[in-house]
């Protein structure tokens, strides 16, 4: 169940909703949402790739565990635990979690501001994720 949008402060005391299998190797958990924002916890398995994509909403977040390569407007750079990111609306971006490592865990905040950008339901967010994710074959271990 997705938390209700509130115009009042929200503190979540109960356990968060169950994990959602958004795509093979990608689990997401909606934590809380407010006006124009949703907060998600992601767990992404090694070797999973989010193909380059863009959408009408912005994203910002922080990697809590793991490492990979982030692509922003065609330029690749490494990203690892402790590093954060911001993708404005319509920015072309993608992510690949390094194979043969631990899963990547990250907090992702989706922003639907200005207010004229409609916040899609969780089912559409999950569908969007499943369209851009693919599991690459693991390269041979050295």
pLDDT (tens digit, 9 = 90+) per residue, 78-104? 999 999 999 999 999 999 999 999 999
- Beta carbons within 8 Å of 1's beta carbon, 6+ residues apart: 17
* Domain boundaries along the sequence of the chain: 26-123
What single-letter DSSP state applies at residue 126? H
Over residues 118-136, the mean pLDDT reads 70
Q: Which CATH number fits domain 26-123: 3.40.50.720, 2.60.120.10, 3.20.20.120, 2.30.29.30?
A: 2.60.120.10
User: pLDDT tens-digit profile of 19-58?
Assistant: 999 999 999 999 988 888 889 999 999 999 999 999 888 9
Does 12 score more than 90 pLDDT? no
Please, which residues bridge with residue 6 across strands?
34
Task: Using a cut of 0.85, tell me whether the model's pTM lies above it.
Answer: no
């Amino acid at each position: 169940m997705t938390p209700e949008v509130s115009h009042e402060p929200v503190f979540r005391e109960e356990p968060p909703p169950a994990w959602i299998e958004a795509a093979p190797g990608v689990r997401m958990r909606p934590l809380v949402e407010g006006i124009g924002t949703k907060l998600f916890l992601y767990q992404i398995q090694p070797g999973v790739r989010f193909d380059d994509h863009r959408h009408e909403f912005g994203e910002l977040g922080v990697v809590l565990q793991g490492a990979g390569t982030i692509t922003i407007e065609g330029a690749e750079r490494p990203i690892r635990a402790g590093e954060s990111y911001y993708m404005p609306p319509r920015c072309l971006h993608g992510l690949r979690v390094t194979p043969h490592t631990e899963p990547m865990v990250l907090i992702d905040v989706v922003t639907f501001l200005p207010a004229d950008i409609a916040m899609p339901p969780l089912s559409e967010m999950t569908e969007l994720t499943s369209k851009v994710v693919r599991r690459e074959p693991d390269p041979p271990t050295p």
